[in-house]
Amino acid sequence: MRNMTEKMIIRVQSPDGTKRIETSAKDSTSKFYENVRDAFSLASVNFALFKKPNKIEEIISSRSKTLHSYGIKHGDMIFLNPLNGTIFQGNAIVTNSSVTSVNTLHSNVSNVSVIEDDVDVYLQKQDGKIERGRDDRLCQHNQKSKCVHCAPLEPYDEEYLREHNFKHMSFHANLRKLKGGADRGKFAALENISCKIKSGCQDHLPWPRGICSKCQPNAVTLNRQLYRHVDNIVLENPQIAERFLDYWRTTGHQRIGYAFGRYEPHKDVPLGIKATIAAIYEPPQESSRDLVKLLPDEKKDVVDEIARYLGLQRVGWIFTDLIADDLTKGTVKHFRNMNFHFLSAQECIMAGYLQNQHPNPCKLAPDGYFGSKFVTVCVTGDSTNQIHMEGYQVSNQCMALVRDNCLVPTKDAPELGFICESTNEQYVPDVFFKEKDNYGNEVIQLARPLPIEYLLVDVPLSTPMEPMFTFTLNTGIKPFPVENRLLNGHLQEFHALSEYTRQFTPECFLDAASDFHFLIYIATMDSLPLKDYMGPLLDAIKNKDNGLANVWARSEQWQTVEQLMAAQGSPSPSTSQTAFLGASLWTCNHCTFLNQPTHTLCEMCGLPRNAS
């Protein structure tokens, strides 16, 4: 019998030919749909898959159903059928090998099967008007009437936004603006930019031998985005950031994490959205003082599944860029500002890549998606040399440039990007930006190089006055180690699990289990993974049900874990581990910076290891 985790090849037949797709039986059908979309270079999953020809035995896109549940085996043939006879590609719709304008088929947008985020569905139902009180100086009517001085304003009112220092209107306010004309938005289309040659043109030889105006992508003129998909980033409580920063404080090395939380209405901005962060997951990575390299993450699907069960999702990513300034004062260097850069080109490209991985579902877009709510958080030093966090997104234009491999960083100037030139393998459209010359005149420049600030959308970041806790804060308790930290005292291992749980009485099991890192560990333990049995426990944590958590703690699965911990006692780590961890870091005698054992010179001050 073939192992479910073993890779297999599935053939997918479409009107454009057949592709061979590598997958595994345990993959969800929604993931397989995405693989098919990527294999055929489609802009969306606006198609259906069937086990048999003539649209028989449809395979439904689902996160809970797997290929194995449909009986799909290695070598099987799957049949792809475009919905409504249409495959969407970039800014054009290809039907029967002819290219048609998006606007002419805008009436078909409602046929696209798109499941929008709950926050979007909620905001679409809201009035969105900005209420104003009666002005005693200007209003000459009674309390029940309204006039031009006190009538509600539209959520996109420019004067109101300017008076209240809103740099960007919200995405849904922008949608109301598009629908606010005489035609009520009938011909408005949220078109995604494409920098690729449109396929299906039969009038010439393939690139680089030929190209025509019908399939050639339009030149791009960069504009600062007037709206943003997320209007505020909120950390539920300061402890979330402090736990993430422990790694830098211990090693001096930079760190990347994925923020898990929720998208919610933001009442301080008309029709606004906030990304509320409840936990930070740290994927496998290699890091130093100046570099972070992400590694393949085998636990990604399990992490996402646990988060989904708790009502959470990946809402962004966070990274540190901290250099110690004065260790005695705990200050850090300040080097990100308007005179240098806020985000580097490489960081913008990474943000664009991740936003493309997490597109924003949108029924008003022909492709079924538009932009992204995925946010970027940079932890750096401020003008007072204190650690602080800054929030960003990159524009939809930047997402398109990154998706189509048009944007690269420059070698020596982090504040500048560079638009690639066309090659025999890839056509790259011209990209321009506007700037003012020494005389104040507006000049159009070719984006080689490109000031990266044209691609940035800043997002305010805050913590609430009253801290929130999706996961229990256990004061006075040594927290469970964070995943993928190869440091003494930070390793996730069975001994650490035993030490952690001993801090709680049996009646407080809910408090012990209400920790995102703890849940990930017990779901992926090598000796006894509990993922398939954790449903009731996750329900208890989500609903803060202490009784249900205690019932789960008496289950056969957890009792087995407790017996193993009791049999283990409290041993110290193995000799080989102790030898490795004991030599993992050395402290500089001059500046007290913690260095890696392989370094003979201090990374901070440059003095030799044994310098006095």
Of the given ranges (240-254, 313-327, 348-362, 592-606), which has the lowest mean pLDDT?
592-606
The Cα 151–Cα 134 span in angstroms is 9
- Alpha-carbon torsion (195, 201, 204, 208), positive or negative: positive
Is the predicted pLDDT of residue 183 greater than 70, yes or no?
no
The predicted structure's pLDDT at residue 607: 67
Is the predicted pLDDT of residue 372 greater than 70, yes or no?
yes
The SS3 call for residue 491 is coil
The predicted structure's pLDDT at residue 186: 57
DSSP designation for 539: H
The SS3 call for residue 558 is helix
Of the given ranges (176-185, 386-395, 416-425), which has the lowest mean pLDDT?
176-185
The amino acid sitting at 459 is V
Is the predicted pLDDT of residue 43 greater than 90, yes or no?
no
The Cα 359–Cα 353 span in angstroms is 10
| Alpha-helical runs (H) found in 404-529 | 494-501, 509-513, 516-523
The Cα 447–Cα 397 span in angstroms is 13
Q: Which residues pair with 432 in a beta bridge?
A: 221, 446
The predicted structure's pLDDT at residue 585: 67
What stretch of H or E contains 38? helix 29-39
Q: Which residues pair with 59 in a beta bridge?
A: 49
Cα separations (Å) of 355 from 193, 259, 373, 402? 14, 13, 7, 10
CB 279 within 8 A of CB 470: yes
The SS3 call for residue 37 is helix
- Chain centroid to Cα 210, Å, comes to 38
Nearest to 42 by CA among 405, 372, 369: 369
Q: Which residues pair with 601 in a beta bridge?
A: 608
Of the given ranges (48-57, 426-435, 476-485), which has the lowest mean pLDDT?
48-57
Instruction: Name the E strands within 179-229.
Output: 220-222, 227-228
- Alpha-carbon torsion (490, 493, 496, 500), positive or negative: positive
In this structure, what are the phi and psi dihedrals at residue 597, rounded to the nearest 5 degrees? -65, -25
Q: Of residues 1 and 213, which shows the higher confidence score? A: 213
Cα separations (Å) of 535 from 310, 439, 560? 10, 66, 17
Mean per-residue pLDDT over the chain, rounded: 84
Percent of the chain topping pLDDT 90: 49
The predicted structure's pLDDT at residue 105: 32
The predicted structure's pLDDT at residue 486: 87
The boundaries of every CATH 3.10.20.90 domain in the chain are 7-82
Q: For 548-599, write each residue's pLDDT tens digit.
A: 999 999 999 999 999 988 887 644 333 333 333 334 567 777 666 676 665 6
The predicted structure's pLDDT at residue 17: 72
The Cα 21–Cα 235 span in angstroms is 40
The Cα 276–Cα 264 span in angstroms is 7
Burial environment of residue 399 by CB neighbours within 10 A (0 to 12, 13 to 18, 19 or more): buried
Distance between the two ends of the chain, CA-based, in angstroms?
Answer: 65
Is the predicted pLDDT of residue 20 greater than 60, yes or no?
yes
Q: Peptide bond preceding 449: is omega within 30 degrees of 0, i.e. cis?
A: yes
Average pLDDT over residues 511-527: 93
Residues 6+ positions from 140 with CB-CB distance below 8 Å: 147
In this structure, what are the phi and psi dihedrals at residue 590, rounded to the nearest 5 degrees? -90, -50
Q: Which residues pair with 390 in a beta bridge?
A: 378
The Cα 479–Cα 496 span in angstroms is 10
The predicted structure's pLDDT at residue 587: 75
- Alpha-carbon torsion (496, 497, 502, 508), positive or negative: positive
Average pLDDT over residues 499-506: 92
> pLDDT-derived band of residue 80, with 50, 70 and 90 as boundaries?
confident
The Cα 327–Cα 240 span in angstroms is 23
Residues 6+ positions from 452 with CB-CB distance below 8 Å: 341, 343, 344, 345, 348, 415, 416, 417
Is the predicted pLDDT of residue 107 greater than 80, yes or no?
no
Residues 6+ positions from 122 with CB-CB distance below 8 Å: 265
DSSP designation for 130: B
- Chain centroid to Cα 253, Å, comes to 22
Q: Which residue has the tokens 């629908």?
A: 179
Q: Which residue has the tokens 């180690």?
A: 481
Is the predicted pLDDT of residue 408 greater than 90, yes or no?
yes
Nearest to 464 by CA among 227, 236, 270: 236
> pLDDT-derived band of residue 1, with 50, 70 and 90 as boundaries?
very low
In this structure, what are the phi and psi dihedrals at residue 432, rounded to the nearest 5 degrees? -125, 160
**What number of other Cβ atoms are within 10 A of residue 359's Cβ?**
21
Q: Of residues 214 and 535, which shows the higher confidence score? A: 535
Q: For 184-211, write each residue's pLDDT tens digit.
A: 655 567 889 999 988 877 777 888 888 8
Domain 225-409+453-462 sits in CATH at 3.40.140.10
Domain 7-82 sits in CATH at 3.10.20.90
Q: Which residues pair with 331 in a beta bridge?
A: 326
Cα separations (Å) of 56 from 53, 485, 576? 6, 49, 58
Nearest to 237 by CA among 466, 459, 390: 466
Q: Which residue has the tokens 């699965």?
A: 557
Is the predicted pLDDT of residue 611 greater than 70, yes or no?
no
Q: Which residue has the tokens 């003012």?
A: 436
The predicted structure's pLDDT at residue 102: 31
The boundaries of every CATH 3.40.140.10 domain in the chain are 225-409+453-462
CB 573 within 8 A of CB 493: yes
> pLDDT-derived band of residue 339, with 50, 70 and 90 as boundaries?
confident
Q: For 256-301, write each residue's pLDDT tens digit.
A: 999 999 999 999 999 999 999 999 999 999 999 888 999 999 999 9
The SS3 call for residue 552 is helix
Percent of the chain topping pLDDT 70: 85
